[in-house]
Amino acid sequence: MDRQTAAAPAPLTETRKKQIIVGVLTAMLLAALDQTIVAPAIVPIGRSLGSVEYLPWIVSAYLVTATAVTPLYGKLADIHGRRPIIFVSVTIFLAGSVLCALAPSMLWLVAGRAIQGLGGGGLIALAQTVMGDLVPPKQRAKYAAQISAVWATASVAGPLVGGVFAQHLHWSLVFWINLPIGLVALWMMNGPLKDLPFHPRPHRLDVPGAILVVAATSLAMLALSLGRQSGEWAAPDVLGLAGAALVAAALFAWRVKTFAEPLIPIKVLKNKVIARGALAVACGAGGFIGLTTIIPVFLQTRNGVGPDLAAVGLILMGAGAVIGAALTGRAVPKLKRYRTPSLCGFALSIAALAGLALSVEHGSFLVSLALLFLYGLGIGPIFPVGTVSVQNAVAQHDLGAATGLLAFLRSMGAAFGVAILGAIVLGAGLGPEGGEHGPAVVEPGTFRLAFLAAILGTAAALISLWRMPERPLRDTIEPRPSEGPG
């Protein structure tokens, strides 16, 4: 256990809290930027390293490992404290970045991306956990503006900076840039995190459970990735990986029920607020991230615009989500029914998707951009509402596990969204990931089916959030004795 927990620290000043929050937001920027800065460099990487058949794994390798280790980081943070674990996460991420930047071959680069994911999987969850340590749930949503600003910066700066590096300098700079950002984050967090309140309890790390959840997640992600890339979902390798993932998941479920202190506490899984709130976030993220893979193809096919103008659709959709999250974050502390903005937002998103589905053949470019903005505006509120609801429902010693579970399910939802919508639209190698014919061969009805699938996912999120109990937000860090976390 970290020595910082031996004695109870003095209450943090507001200045110290702000220093910690700026530090963890900088760490979060590492993970957010990594999701946007690499894509523009993929083609130059293929030209430089060859082995273009492995190009999709530049993205998939990171996603597989990052998703798998997310719940493990939450549990480790509950056992050993936030500071040492977030330092380990950032350090592993930076080590993977160096390996990627120095890669002499495609396989080396893919291995480096997998190592990056081992570190990056903890950055977002740990940053949110640290903020949960500092701010009572009732006030926590206010920080959605800062979190949204991080994602907005990454969504705009990532493609621009990555494109400049790849086209005019060298693709390795998209990985080297992580070093100064990461070192600044470590420097900013080093002192303040020593004063971070930590409430330890005797814990045992469930090593077999950790191995099973990593195996189940990795195998499932590999099956999704292979199926999406080939379009052959009934291929023996895809079915074999999916079957192995189901076996590992079943063994993990048995472990959770029988082990005294499993990786994900059973009381966390049984909590209706956590289960339904996390499911709503997962379904919302699945539709949102899934659409980012097909919107450029949709706009290029339907309106005949180039990749640069097609990217405007993604920027507007992201901007809508940032605005929706920020406005909701400011409103939540003042609202008794704090689910309302997200419930109304989901309804708005469903209406926008319906408009896109109805206009796949004859809609105008400007109308599509407006609908994409409205869709993002409606999706945005679920992220602060989901995070605050889940963290409000647990005691402080389970905060890391609950936040890790939320981040884990959000990543899994995003992976399923990308796989499902990508399979519908891109098919067997069509669209931006390959194929000789490009996106022009995609029929309008295919996009309509993809938008309908996104509608179903968003509707599932709405129903799950509507069924989630709405408990009063605490104005203290720990639950009151009469409340309890269960």
Angstrom distance (rounded) from CA 399 to CA 129: 7
> Of 152, 184, 201, which one is at a domain's C-terminal end?
201
Tens digit of each residue's pLDDT (9 = 90 or more) over 364-423? 889 999 999 999 999 988 888 888 888 787 776 667 677 777 877 887 787 778 778 877
- Within a domain: 5: no
Q: Which domain holds residue 87?
A: 11-201
180 in the same domain as 228: no
> Of 262, 285, 310, which one is at a domain's C-terminal end?
262
Tens digit of each residue's pLDDT (9 = 90 or more) over 132-173? 677 666 666 666 656 766 776 776 677 677 777 877 788 888
309 in the same domain as 196: no
Tens digit of each residue's pLDDT (9 = 90 or more) over 49-100? 876 666 667 776 787 778 777 777 777 777 777 788 888 888 999 999 999 9
410 in the same domain as 322: yes
- Within a domain: 237: yes
pLDDT of residue 7: 45
Mean pLDDT of 317-344: 84
Region of 264 please: left (phi>0), alpha (psi -120 to 50) or beta: beta
89 in the same domain as 164: yes
Closest CA to 408 of 39, 48, 16, 129: 129
Task: Give the CATH number, domain containing residue 36.
Answer: 1.20.1250.20
180 in the same domain as 211: no
Other beta carbons within 10 angstroms of residue 114's beta carbon come to 21
- Within a domain: 292: yes
pTM: 0.72
pLDDT of residue 145: 59
- Within a domain: 403: yes
Closest CA to 224 of 179, 285, 286: 286
115 in the same domain as 84: yes
Closest CA to 220 of 251, 236, 244: 244
| CB proximity list for 239: less than 8 A, separation 6 or greater | 223
Closest CA to 121 of 389, 398, 412: 412
Identity of residue 406: L
429 in the same domain as 282: yes
228 in the same domain as 374: no
The listed range with the strongest mean pLDDT (37-46, 152-161, 276-285) is 276-285
What is the SS3 string spanning 28-58? HHHHHHHHHHCHHHHHHHHHHHCCHHHCCHH
Mean pLDDT of 200-217: 74
- Within a domain: 4: no
Angstrom distance (rounded) from CA 388 to CA 391: 5
- Within a domain: 444: yes
Count of all residues that appear for the chain in the document: 486
Other beta carbons within 10 angstroms of residue 7's beta carbon come to 7
348 in the same domain as 216: no
Do 90 and 179 meet the contact criterion of CB atoms below 8 Å apart? no
- Within a domain: 1: no
Tens digit of each residue's pLDDT (9 = 90 or more) over 91-141? 999 999 999 999 888 889 989 988 998 888 888 778 777 776 776 666 666
Q: What are phi and psi of 138, to 5 degrees?
A: -65, -30
Q: What percent of the chain has pLDDT over 70?
A: 78
- Within a domain: 340: yes
Alpha-carbon distances, residue 215 vs 62, 168, 189, 242, 247 (angstroms): 15, 40, 32, 11, 10
> Of 185, 201, 217, which one is at a domain's C-terminal end?
201
Number of domains composing the chain: 3
334 in the same domain as 304: yes
